[in-house]
Structure 1
Amino acid sequence: MSDPTSMSSAVNVYKRLVPQPVRSAAATTVPVGVRRKVKRQLARTLSRREARLHRRALRRVRRAEFGHSERRTQAPDGRVGHVHTGLTADRARRLDHDLVTQALDAADIPWFAVPALDDRRICLAVDQQDKGAVRRVLRALLEEHTGYVVSVSPAQNDTRDVPGSHVKAWKHYGKAKVIRLTWLRTEPTGNLWVGEDQGVEIEFWTANTDLPAERLIGPRPNRVQRAVPSDAPGVEIGLDRLSGYCDIDGDLEPTITLENFDVPRLEEITFPVDAVLLWQHPTPWGEELLRAALRSLHQYAPWADVVHLVAEAEPPAWLRADDRLTVVRARPGSEWHLHQLPDLAEHFLLLRPGALLGRPVRPFDYFTPSGSTRPRRGPWNAQESFAPWTRTAYAATGRVTAHGYAHGPQPHRAETLARLRGSGAAPLPLDDGQRLPAVPGTHPLDGVVHHFGHTAGLADPSGEASVALHAALPDIGTHLERLLVRRDTQQIQLFGLGTEEARVRGGTQAVVRFLHRYFPVPSVFERDHHHTDEAGDQP
Structure 2
Amino acid sequence: MPDPTSMSSAANVYKRLVPQPVRSAAATTLPVGVRRKVKRRLARTLSRREARLHRRALRRVRRAGLGGSERRTQTPDGRVGHVHTGLTADLARRLDHDLVTQALDAAEIPWFAVPALDDRRICLAVDHKDKGAVRRVLRALLEEHTGYVVSVSPAQNDTGRIPGSHVKAWKHYGKAKVVRLTWLRTEPTENLWVGEDQGIEIEFWTANTDLATERLIGPRPNRVQRAVPSDAQGIEIGLERLSGYSDIDGDLEPTITLETFDVPRLEEITFPVDAVLLWQHATAWGEELLRAALRSLHQYAPWVDVVHVVAEAEPPAWLTPDDRLTVVRARPGSEWHLHRLPDVAEHFLLLRPGALLGRPVRPFDYFTPSGTTRPRRGTWNARESFAPWTRAAYSATSRVAAHGYAHGPQPYRTETLARLAGAGAAPLPLDDPQLLPGVPGTHPLDGVAHHFGHTTGLADPSGEAWVALHAAMPGMATRLERLLVRRDTQQIQLFGLGTDEARARGGTRAAVAWLHRYYPVPSIFEGGRTTDADEADNQP
Q: TM-score, normalised by structure 2?
A: 0.99
Q: Letter of the 1:412 partner, please give it.
A: Y
Distance 2:314 2:404 in 1: 33
User: Structure 1, residues 400-420: CA drift from partner, whole Å, max 9, x if none?
Assistant: 000000000000000000000
Residue 288 of structure 1 corresponds to which residue in structure 2?
Answer: 288
**Alpha-carbon deviation of 1:383?**
0.6
Task: Show structure 1 runs of 5+ residues with no match.
Answer: none
Residue of structure 2 in register with 1:235 after alignment = 235
State the match for 2:537 in structure 1: 536
Code of the aligned partner of 2:539: Q
- Pairing 1:520-531 to 2, within 5 Å after superposition: 520-531=520-531
1:93 matched to which residue of 2? 93
Partner of 2:208: 208
Aligned to 2:481: 481
Deviation at 1:31, TM superposition (A): 1.6
Secondary structure in structure 2 of the residue aligned to 1:135: helix
Say if 1:358 and 1:492, in contact at 8 Å, map to a contact too: yes
Q: Where do 1:160-239 residues align within 5 Å? A: 160-239=160-239
What is the CA RMSD across the aligned residues, in angstroms? 0.6
CA distance in 2 between partners of 1:291 and 1:353 (Å): 10
**Residues of 2 paired with 1:39 and 1:504: CA distance?**
76
In structure 1, what is the equivalent of residue 49 of structure 2?
A: 49
Helix, strand or coil at the partner of 2:98? helix
Structure 1 position 537, deviation (Å): 2.5
Q: After superposition, what is the alpha-carbon deviation per residue over 1:112-142, rounded to whole angstroms, capped at 9, x for unaligned? A: 0000000000000000000000000000000
Q: What is residue 122 of structure 1 aligned with on the other side?
A: 122
Q: What is the 5 A alignment of 1:130-529?
A: 130-529=130-529
For residues 216 and 531 of structure 2, what CA distance do their matches in structure 1 show? 54
Separation in structure 1 between the aligned mates of residue 439 and residue 433 of structure 2, nearest angstrom: 8
Please state how far the C-alpha of 1:424 moved relative to its aligned partner. Answer: 0.4
1:529 positional shift: 3.8
Cα distance between partner residues in 2 of 1:25 and 1:390: 86
What secondary structure is seen at the aligned counterpart in 1 of 2:39? helix
Length, aligned pairs only: 539
1:536 deviates by: 2.4
Q: 287-296 or 463-472, which moves further after superposition?
A: 463-472
List structure 1 segments (4+ residues) > 6 angstroms apart after TM superposition: none
Distance in 2 of aligned mates of 1:516 and 1:192: 11
Letter in 1 for 2:12: N
- Whichever residue aligns with residue 537 of structure 2, its letter is G
Q: Distance in 1 between matches of 2:27 and 2:189?
A: 62
SS at match of 1:345: coil
Structure 2: which 5+ residue stretches go unaligned?
none
Query: Which one-letter code corresponds to 1:445 in the other structure?
Result: L
Confirm or deny: 8 A CA contact 1:67 1:145 kept in the other structure.
Answer: no
What is the one-letter code of the residue matched to 2:525? F
Q: Secondary structure at the match of 1:247?
A: coil
Deviation at 1:66, TM superposition (A): 1.0
Give me the TM-score of the superposition, normalised by structure 1: 0.99
Cα pair 2:223 2:265 within 8 Å, conserved:
yes
Contact 2:245/2:362 (<8 A) preserved: yes
Contact 1:275 1:308 in 2 (8 A): yes
Contact 1:497–1:508 (Cα < 8 Å) also in 2: yes
State the shift of 1:334 in Å. Answer: 0.5
Higher mean Cα deviation, 275-284 or 31-40?
Answer: 31-40
Q: Is the 8 A contact 1:218 1:226 kept in 2?
A: yes
Contact 1:508–1:537 (CA<8 Å) still a contact in 2? no
Equivalent pair of 1:496/1:502 in contact (CA under 8 Å): yes
- Tell me the residue number matched to 2:14: 14
The answer to whether the Cα contact below 8 Å between 2:148 and 2:164 also exists between their aligned partners in 1 is yes
Equivalent residue letter for 1:531: T
C-alpha deviation, 1:271, in angstroms: 0.3
Report the alpha carbon displacement of residue 249 of structure 1 after superposing the two structures with TM. 0.7
Superposed displacement of residue 28, structure 1: 2.1
Equivalent position SS for 1:494: strand
Q: Deviations over 1:463-521 (max 9, x none)?
A: 11210000001211111011001000000000000111111111101000000000000
Distance 2:465 2:59 in 1: 49
Cα deviation, residue 65, structure 1: 1.2
State the alpha-carbon separation in 1 of the partners of residues 506 and 369 from structure 2.
44
Checking the alignment, whether the CA contact within 8 Å between 1:522 and 1:529 is kept in structure 2 is no
Q: Deviations over 1:15-62 (max 9, x none)?
A: 111111221222222222111111100000000000000001001101
Task: Give the whole-Å Cα distance in 2 for the aligned partners of 1:98 and 1:50.
Answer: 26
Partners of 2:290 and 2:522 in 1: CA distance: 12
The letter for the 2-side match of 1:435 is L
Q: Is the 8 A contact 2:284 2:531 kept in 1?
A: no
Mapped partners of 2:315, 2:332: distance in 1: 15
- Structure 2 CA distance for aligned equivalents of residues 195 and 528 of structure 1: 29
**Cα distance in 1 between the residues matched to 2:483 and 2:28:** 66
Query: What SS does structure 1 have at the residue aligned with 2:206?
Result: strand
Contact persistence 1:177–1:219 (CA under 8 A): yes
What letter corresponds to residue 237 of structure 2 in structure 1? I
Amino acid at match of 2:295: R
* Matched-pair contact (CA < 8 Å) for 2:124–2:203: yes
Once the two structures are superposed, what CA deviation does each residue of 1:56-103 show, in whole Å capped at 9, x if it has no partner? 100110111113100000000100000000000000000000000000
- CA-to-aligned-CA distance 1:306-364 (integer Å, 9 cap, x gap): 00000011110111110000000000010010000111100000000000000000000
- Find the aligned partners of 1:172 and 1:537 in 2 and give their Cα distance: 57
CA–CA separation in structure 2 for the residues paired with 1:135 and 1:298 = 35
The letter for the 2-side match of 1:266 is L
In 2: Cα distance, 1:403 partner to 1:482 partner: 28
Q: Secondary structure at the match of 2:416?
A: helix
Q: Give the whole-Å Cα distance in 1 for the aligned partners of 2:140 and 2:67.
A: 12
For residue 434 of structure 1, report the CA deviation from its aligned partner. 0.4
CA contact 1:181–1:199 (8 Å) conserved in 2: yes
Asked if the contact 1:239/1:254 (under 8 Å) is kept, the reply is yes
